[in-house]
Structure 1
Amino acid sequence: MTQRFRTSRRALAAAAATAALTLTLAACGSDSGSGHGSGMDHSATPSPSASDDGMASMPGMEPVSAGNGLAAAKDGYKMVSTAATVPAGKASAYRFAITGPDGKPVTGFAVDQTKRMHFYAIRSDLTGFQHLHPTMAADGTWSAPLATLQPGTWRLYASFVPDGGAGKGKDFVLSRTVKVSGMAMPDPLPKASGTATVDGYTVTVKGDPMAGMAHQLTATVTKDGKPVTDLQPYLDTYAHLTAFHQGDLAFAHLHPETEVDGDHGGPALSFHAQFPQSGNWRMFLQFQTGGRLHTASLTLRVG
């Protein structure tokens, strides 16, 4: 992990300290998954806005505070899309662009964790997690290949670092909402638990995080009661951790401090974590073994 990466990510976490966040984890064995036990739970509770950021209310562009991933625009950069709905029952491509302070589509993005754009989808009940890497056309239009979405309200996040202009080198997380038609069936949020299982692996998270303070979390991966030591690098790290607030779907992106050294990571991974508010957080931990990506999720209670 590069020093710039650590610094920028901690700066993002610090900026998010003004937002109300909560977060929890369930288990899923792929980027898309299905059902509560797999990290693809589905519910229809609308995600409330945090506060007004001065933007006009438009479909998919609710007025919310910047700095927590809930704003569609920040510091002159804006996530724009003509899509306010996504079809139900089938995979689809979500197209969007990032415009800069000059109003033109941005086409220069820095590589961050091996990708120029990270894209996330989550339903309003914190189910259906997807982590994708869209492709960009020459005109700056990105296309994210969404797996099937269940009915309800979804929030879609774009995480990027401009490679030029006023925002060069700065981390941004912008988001919009979309509707998926049909009868949404809410799933209750699982209770807080320090353990999750996925694909035969057990992930145990330990730590006593307190809101507004930096703490260390340790995630340990075992299989059949034995320590796992063959974790492979995934996006330049041994584990990728994404968190969402239970009430408003605010976004937090945490990464392990463990250095990558070949295909023998684990069993313990240390994370620098800073949660701006107490409550439940829904966290999704992604790791790779034998060329297969696993996604575990569990509920973490922050005091």
Structure 2
Amino acid sequence: MPGTAHPAGTSQGLARGLAATQDGYRLNLATCGVPAGRPTAFQFTVTGPDGSPVTDFAVHQTRKLHLYAIRTDLTGFQHLHPDMADDGTWTAGLAALAPGTWRLYADFIPNTGAHATELVLSRTVTVPGKEAPVPLPAPSDSTTVDGYTVTLHAQPTTGANQLVATISQDGRPVTDLQPYLDSYAHLSAFHEGDQALAHLHPANPVNGDHGGPTLSFRALLAEPGDWRVFLQFQTAGQLHTAELTLHID
């Protein structure tokens, strides 16, 4: 929902998203192997407590399901919106994946039974070939993407903490952010080592194409260490993804 931070993956409300099952719901992949170097129509289902594929999902963040993909070295981030067939089979258009182990996260709210809580389930897939791990970039509070400078400030504490992003272009504050998934930004953060996921949206109210330059997030980064952060925002119909490493003490 707009202006709401959605903690990922556990009933404690902390960043995780590392289990394939929760509350009777299970993420099932059509295959645990993905070919290297070419786009893939990747299929999966979500089964409910009765073991049948779930076909009824609530719309949240303008979509019925969000799929994230990232390699174990926290490279290759993808945020996709798959299509579902009548039988509950989802198909996601994965861009080409480099060799290595990847984790796929499905984020959804089932409209079945009494369950109306957001779930984030994940599984890993293997892409064959010689893996060339990329070292995690050093922590930095600023990065540039498509001519935009994104600065991210965080209080160095674990648990619930405040993240504030500022977006500028050529030294001037950006004030024409467009709504993306019902808010002015979408922030995904992955913990180095275990790939725990947190995904957040700014608390700023949406008022047409007038977002920015400052966006405030209430973060649930429960584990100390380095987090790879992907901040997605939209201007003039174009989606931008800023990447940086954030350290939490």
- Per the TM superposition, whether the score is higher than 0.5 is yes
What count of residue pairs does the alignment treat as equivalent? Answer: 249
CA contact (8 A) 2:7 2:199 kept: no
As a proportion of its length, which structure holds more strand?
2
TM-score (norm 2): 0.96
What pairs with 1:47-196 in structure 2 (closer than 5 Å)?
Answer: 68-167=16-115, 169-196=116-143
Alpha-carbon distance between aligned partners in 2 of 1:217 and 1:200, rounded to the nearest angstrom: 22
Structure with more contact order per residue of length (Cα contacts < 8 Å, sep ≥ 6): 1
Alignment CA distance shift 1:157-1:145 (3 Å): same
Task: Point out 4+ residue stretches in structure 1 off by more than 6 angstroms.
Answer: none
Work out the percentage of aligned pairs sharing the same amino acid: 60
Q: Deviations over 1:28-50 (max 9, x none)?
A: xxxxxxxxxxxxxxxxxxxxxxx
Name whichever structure is richer in helix by fraction. Answer: 1
Is 1:292 paired with 2:227? no
**Which residue of the partner structure matches residue 205 of structure 2?**
259
Match of 2:4 in 1: 6
TM-score normalised by length of structure 1: 0.79
Superposed displacement of residue 11, structure 1: 8.2
Q: Is the 8 A contact 2:9 2:18 kept in 1?
A: no
Amino acid in structure 2 at the alignment position of 1:175: S
1:107 CA displacement: 0.4
SS at match of 1:6: coil
Secondary structure of the residue that 2:245 maps to in structure 1? Answer: strand
Matched-pair contact (CA < 8 Å) for 1:13–1:274: no
How far 1:16 moved relative to its partner? 4.6
Whole-Å separation in 2 of the counterparts to 1:206 and 1:250: 21
For residues 289 and 241 of structure 1, what CA distance do their matches in structure 2 show? 16
CA distance in 1, matches of 2:78, 2:223: 24
Q: 2:165 maps to what in 1?
A: 219
Distance 1:13 1:218 in 2: 24
Indicate if the aligned counterparts of 2:9 and 2:17 stay in contact, CA closer than 8 A.
no
Q: Is the CA contact (8 Å cut-off) linking 2:229 and 2:246 kept in structure 1?
A: yes
In 1, Cα distance between the equivalents of 2:41 and 2:13? 29
- 1:197 is matched with which residue? 144
Read off the aligned partner of 1:211 and give its amino acid letter. Answer: T
RMSD of aligned alpha carbons: 1.6
| 1:186-215 deviation line (CA, Å, top 9, x unaligned) | 110000000011000000011214112x22
Which amino acid is the alignment partner of residue 244 of structure 1? Answer: F
Q: Return 5+ residue gaps in structure 1 as ranges.
A: 20-67
Partner of 2:221: 275
Tell me which residue corresponds to 1:15: 12
Q: Letter of the aligned partner of 1:70 in structure 2?
A: L
Q: 1:181, 1:302 → 2: CA distance?
A: 33
Local SS of the residue matching 2:157: coil
SS of alignment partner, residue 258 of structure 1: coil
